[in-house]
Structure 1
Amino acid sequence: MKTILLCGKQSDTVISQAMIDVLRRYGRVQYYNGIQLSSAPGETPGVFCIYDCERLPALSTPDSVLVFKNSFTPSSEPVRLPHGIPAVFSSRCEKAAEQLKGAPVIPVACGTSSKDTLSVASLTEGSACVSLLRSLCTLTGEILEPKDISVALQREMGTYSLLAACAVCLLCGIDSEPGYRF
């Protein structure tokens, strides 16, 4: 099971809904929003647990990915995260970068700059091309080299939702060679 921790306001459901919709294509999704636990059947074997929280939890689970919503508010409490956990955030979300400063995480910045880890190369009504601009280590230890990933869009998605979903799929080891369907 892969655990995805979404950090940001509970009322900010854009990334939450995008992650549920995308990951259902690649396995069963269990989603906990702090109040209710729900489960959605998947199209292929595999299980993803999405935990939606306002603050960074004390985390010690393997196979986890942190994803910061743009609504994330940093805490003054010290960050307690396992060494090498990937942390996905918008390069425009300075609050997430501030919170992660000095933490033993692998930053995965998403945006439109060549400084980002993932960037949108092209975007049309029904498709996108996302560029992985630097090497990325998956949760299983596989090293992914820079490449372009084609994405067939089944619905409209914001740029950060698209990039964060691609980052999570890559980090979870979902094969990008045939392209993704979001």
Structure 2
Amino acid sequence: MIPILFLGPSGDRRIPRAVEKLLFRGEALLCRSGQTAVFSREGRLYGLFESEGWDALRWRQGLVVIKEGARDVSLPPNALAGGFVVRQEDASWLHQKGEVRGQVVSCGMSLRDTLTYSSCQDGQPVVSLLRPIHGPFGRLADPQDLPLPPGISGGYTLLAAAAVSLFLGLPPSPNAF
């Protein structure tokens, strides 16, 4: 199973909902319990976990999405994950928390960010990947534009959902549009 950990305030479900809508709408939901959901897509299992704190697990092949308002979360020294998705404003905070091992995907409106909002064509948002992302199992996402379905709220929510899509190498679900 490939884990996706949404780290931050439990009341903020915008990013987990956007990821479910973008990648797993209409896909096989195998389990849902509280703030955990397991989906099957293209022969792989994906676990979506929400937490207000980092647990002892090591997320070597997984992705940690840092929600807005997560600055009070304590990360262990040498936090290990396949990747971290973070708002551009929080990227320096993430590095100050200790040595982070895994690719950091910063999302924002700057050319310094890994992923940024590009345009909106006929009501359909488009985001631009400005630098390569190395996903699990050695997969590489090269710089590209990614059109997303309408209806996903903008800002960091939109960018974080797109970052998860690119990191995992999963195009938007056909049912997302």
**Structure 2 residue aligned with 1:4:** 4
TM (norm. structure 1) is: 0.79
Q: How many Å separate the matches in 2 of 1:98 and 1:150?
A: 30
Given that 1:55 and 1:73 are in contact with CA atoms closer than 8 Å, whether structure 2 keeps it comes out as: no
Amino acid at match of 1:86: G
**Structure 1 residue aligned with 2:83:** 86
Residues 55 and 126 of structure 1: is their aligned pair in 2 closer, same or farther, counting only changes over 3 Å? same
Q: How many Å separate the matches in 2 of 1:113 and 1:180?
A: 31
Unmatched tracts of structure 1, length 5 or more: none
Q: How many Å separate the matches in 2 of 1:174 and 1:72?
A: 26
**Structure 2 residue aligned with 1:52:** 50
SS in 1 for 2:20: helix
**Structure 2 residue aligned with 1:71:** 69
Runs of 4+ residues deviating >6 angstroms = 40-43
Residues 7 and 39 of structure 1: is their aligned pair in 2 closer, same or farther, counting only changes over 3 Å? closer
Paired positions, count: 176
TM (norm. structure 2) is: 0.81
Given that 1:135 and 1:145 are in contact with CA atoms closer than 8 Å, whether structure 2 keeps it comes out as: yes
**Structure 1 residue aligned with 2:159:** 163
Q: Which has the higher helix share?
A: 2
**Structure 2 residue aligned with 1:120:** 117
Shift of 1:114: 0.2
**Structure 2 residue aligned with 1:20:** 20
**Structure 2 residue aligned with 1:174:** 170
SS in 1 for 2:86: strand
Given that 1:151 and 1:179 are in contact with CA atoms closer than 8 Å, whether structure 2 keeps it comes out as: no
- Of the two structures, which has the highest relative contact order with CA contacts closer than 8 Å and spacing of 6 or more? 2
Amino acid at match of 2:88: S
